[in-house]
Amino acid sequence: FIGCGAILVSIAGFLMSLPHFITGHYKYDHNSTDLCQPAISTRNLSDTDCTLHAVKENREVLLILFIGQALLGIGGVPIQPFGISYIDDFASERNSPLYLGILFALTVIGPGVAFMLGSAILRFYVDIDKVSPEEIQLTNKDPRWVGAWWLGFLVAATLVALSAIPYFFFPKEMPKEVRTGMETGKVSCTNHSAVFPVVLLRNLRHPVYLLVVLAQVNLSAMVAGLATFMGKFLERQFSLTASFANMIIGKYSIVGIVAGGAIMKKFQMTLKQCGGMCVIGMLLCVIFAFPLLFMGCPTQKVAGLNYRRSSNVGPHSFECNSKCNCLDKAYNPICGADGIEYISPCFAGCEVVNSDVVENKVLVSKVFNYTNCRCISTNGAEGSASPGTCGTNCSHLLLPFVLLSCLAGILASTSHTPSFMLILRSVQPEDKSFAIGIQFLLLRILAWMPGPVLYGSAIDTTCILWEKKCKKNAACRYYDNDLFRQRFLGLQFFFEVGAFLCFMAVFIILRRQERETRNATEPKTIPEKEKLAEKSSKNLDSKV
């Protein structure tokens, strides 16, 4: 099952890269057409992307991506439930937490390696297989740059296909499984339909199991949103490139997961102690995550957007560019010598562009510089501008932000292994695989599916300038950075508090159960003590 699942994941990876090969070249606003050109009217250009053929092509691409995502979800189903159950069944109780911690850590290493691989791949231009390096007129620092996103899917799909091969040569049954399977095979085959709802209700009505799963739902929803949008957040808040943002999203939680498993192996924790460890880890995580809400950068000054002169005559226009006939949908940001950002050279009134050839280890590209800009004044003369955004100019906050994020991630991940042990030890032994399967089903339905959608919807509400395509919102050009930070990290904090409250409820339940168990055993010993006391008093009386 695991091998077949890996093959499906590999096929999904190849499908996800297919849109690159069936669509045309990436188009962006060219530098020469974005200049101030008073003699040419460009406002009434037709939008060729809104034709029926273009709309049909977009739908076909979306269908391919949906199929790829569906196969990815189906293929990933057998891996975690079966793997976790096998490790817990065939490892000793002393070593099982450590082995599970290593398994979870390796599971987290994968995305960490993927982020680093993505960082390297995004340095290559998206159409590197379709155009020559001399034709590429952008650098990876340009906001219009799109990296070779499709290349990562090809690499990952190939590696998964190779790793799936050994699974087909493993024995179908483990040695211990043969004996138990012979004993229970008849029941599982004949009464499966009747037993299924009973086992399902038995596990869902178990308070510890249900609360631990809800805690993991909160953590998974947080991780799903952070993994999807943390790169964008770092780009916007600290003016990083996409490749560098992906590189610094390290999987620091590996340390916490392995540490959690090692601590459980060292101290042989009870269920109550596992619950306490989860509570302490999440409490410290919440404490370190709270300051992140206030660590960020304001939105840079953008002419006509959040920075206006008194003589403006349009949304992004001023008297200095009123005769330039700028295209409203143009997006080619430049940073003026006055420290103000302009959406395009035309809106800055720039009439001349100069280019220089720059060589690096990856490609040969052209760097542009704009002059004779009417809206940029330096010492009373028309100023100049350089391509790209001006940035937020608060890179000094990046290091403390990353450090606090790492600490919060490490502390939260210490609850990962104990929470799985709570599930494995609280359900009946024959229900382990079923309980883990239901757990992952709930995580997908309640966390991994709606989590990115919830984060994306919250982020969209912070957009202050949308790109329009076919009279509909497409990509967001500029965000309100303060709102972006508050809503993005606010959701993260909300899910962390939710996980903490669930683990706290689990700890209270386990402590109460332990107290009830202790009280239930005390009446058996008290009468014996009373009898001994009576005998000793009688002996004393007789002696007296």
* pLDDT of res. 130: 81
Q: Does residue 538 surpass a pLDDT of 70?
A: no
Cα–Cα distances in angstroms (integers) from residue 297 to residues 235, 238, 395, 481, in the given order: 11, 7, 9, 7
Mean pLDDT of 96-119: 71
* pLDDT of res. 504: 95
pLDDT range class, residue 544, cuts 50, 70, 90: very low
* pLDDT of res. 185: 42
Asked if 412 and 281 count as a contact pair (C-beta separation under 8 A), the reply is yes
Mean pLDDT of 235-251: 68
Mean pLDDT of 119-126: 80
Q: Does residue 540 surpass a pLDDT of 50?
A: no
Q: Does residue 47 surpass a pLDDT of 60?
A: no
Q: Which of 18-27, 203-212, 476-485 has the highest mean pLDDT?
A: 476-485
Element (H, E) at 350: strand 350-359
Mean pLDDT of 289-316: 74
Strands (E), 455-494: 463-469, 472-479
* pLDDT of res. 543: 40
Q: Which of 118-132, 140-154, 163-177, 452-466 has the highest mean pLDDT?
A: 452-466
pLDDT range class, residue 186, cuts 50, 70, 90: very low
Question: Phi first, then psi: what are they for 364, rounded to 5°?
Answer: -105, 125
Here the tokens at position 510 are 């386990």
- The three-state secondary structure class of 288 is helix
Q: Which of 25, 20, 24, 19 is nearest to 62 (CA)?
A: 19
Sheet holding 381-387, edge to edge: 341-342, 334-336, 381-387, 364-378, 350-359
pLDDT range class, residue 388, cuts 50, 70, 90: confident
* pLDDT of res. 57: 64
Q: Does residue 283 surpass a pLDDT of 90?
A: yes
* pLDDT of res. 178: 43
Mean pLDDT of 333-348: 86
Mean pLDDT of 33-40: 72
* pLDDT of res. 541: 46
In terms of pLDDT, which residue wins out, 527 or 69?
69
- Among 73-77, 125-129, 454-458, 495-499, the minimum mean pLDDT is found in 73-77
Mean pLDDT of 449-464: 92
Q: Which amino acid, residue 223?
A: V
pTM equals 0.74
Q: Does residue 521 surpass a pLDDT of 50?
A: yes
- Among 133-137, 345-349, 365-369, the minimum mean pLDDT is found in 365-369
Q: 212: exposed, middle or buried (C-beta count within 10 Å: 0-12, 13-18, 19+)? A: buried
Q: Does residue 314 surpass a pLDDT of 90?
A: no
pLDDT range class, residue 212, cuts 50, 70, 90: very high
Task: Work out the mean pLDDT of the chain and round it to a whole number.
Answer: 76
In terms of pLDDT, which residue wins out, 462 or 531?
462
Element (H, E) at 367: strand 364-378
What are the tens digits of pLDDT across the range 221-237? 998 888 888 888 888 88
What are the tens digits of pLDDT across the range 57-91? 677 888 888 888 888 878 877 776 676 766 666 66
* pLDDT of res. 213: 92
Question: Phi first, then psi: what are they for 399, rounded to 5°?
Answer: -60, -50
pLDDT range class, residue 189, cuts 50, 70, 90: very low
In terms of pLDDT, which residue wins out, 359 or 100?
100
Asked if 321 and 327 count as a contact pair (C-beta separation under 8 A), the reply is no
For the chain, percent of residues with pLDDT exceeding 70:
71
* pLDDT of res. 40: 63
Domains of the chain: 196-297+395-544 (1.20.1250.20)
- 428 HSE (CA, 13 A, CB side): 11
